A and B are shown apart, each in its own frame.
Chain A
Amino acid sequence: EVQLLESGGGLVQPGGSLRLSCAVSGFTFSTYAMSWVRQAPGKGLEWVSVISDSGANTNYADSVKGRFTISRDNSKNTLSLQMNSLRAEDTAVYYCAKVLWRNRHFDYWGQGTLVTVSS
């Protein structure tokens, strides 16, 4: 059974940093691209970032480019998102998602972790 479990969310002040993690199981992690998608309270889904299976290639939404860094540890089956210079508008539930690259879609999702940026 595929499982994705996010952690690391919490309350952080504007300008602060936070590191999210996503522990996965049930599939060969090192052979799939992974992504982060977020959802602000009461709002829709927003794609945040993607990383290739090897970790060699990454991409970011303009809204987080230069502030967020996606990474992965294939030996530990873990995806991460380092978030720096956080802003109030980064407040959201952050989901990690497994990417089925040949069809360019997200086939499995975690339950999400809430990040609140507030003073």
Chain B
Amino acid sequence: QTVVTQEPSFSVSPGGTVTLTCGLSSGSVSANYYPSWYQQTPGQAPRTLIYSTNTRSSGVPDRFSGSILGNKAALTITGAQADDESHYYCVLYMGGGISWVFGGGTKLTVL
């Protein structure tokens, strides 16, 4: 069973930089998994931030960036703001019989 791993929680100071990661329980994440990232605040629908590893969705501030770091996909927030306090989910495209698997999400606190 494929498990996509994310840090359960992270904190960052206002103005600081934080990198959230998205890994696989077995193997390495590459661009072939089309990693994408979504932001969700309580009671709201997810918002698309990054797709295809590092492409920002329309309207997403450039303080959000995506990359592959080592064997994981990564979401970096540079100059964190208070309203970045949210849950962040990555998802990997697996193809074949199982199309997508989400990570468990990271709760980001800005304080």
Contact = CB atoms under 8 A, between A and B. Distances in A.
Interface string B28-60: 000000101010100001111001100101000
A107 B45 contact: no
Nearest to A95: B45
B36 A45 contact: no
A45 B98 contact: no
Taking residues whose C-beta sits less than 8 angstroms from the other chain, chain A's interface range is: 20 to 34
A1 interface: no
A61 B57 CA distance: 26
Interface residues of B, number: 25
B101 interface: yes
Interface in B76-111: 87, 89, 91, 93, 97-105
B55 to A, nearest CB: 7
B57 to A, nearest CB: 7
Given A44-B104, A47-B99, A59-B97, A107 B48 contact: yes
B34 A104 contact: yes
A106 B104 contact: no
A45 B38 CA distance: 10
Nearest to A61: B98
Interface stretch (A23-31, A79-87, A109-117): A109-117
Interface of A: 35, 37, 44-47, 50, 59, 61-62, 95, 100, 103-112
Interface of B: 34, 36, 38, 40, 45-48, 51-52, 55, 57, 87, 89, 91, 93, 97-105
Across the A-B interface, the 10 shortest Cβ-Cβ residue pairs: A104-B34, A104-B93, A105-B51, A105-B36, A47-B100, A44-B105, A109-B45, A45-B102, A103-B52, A44-B104
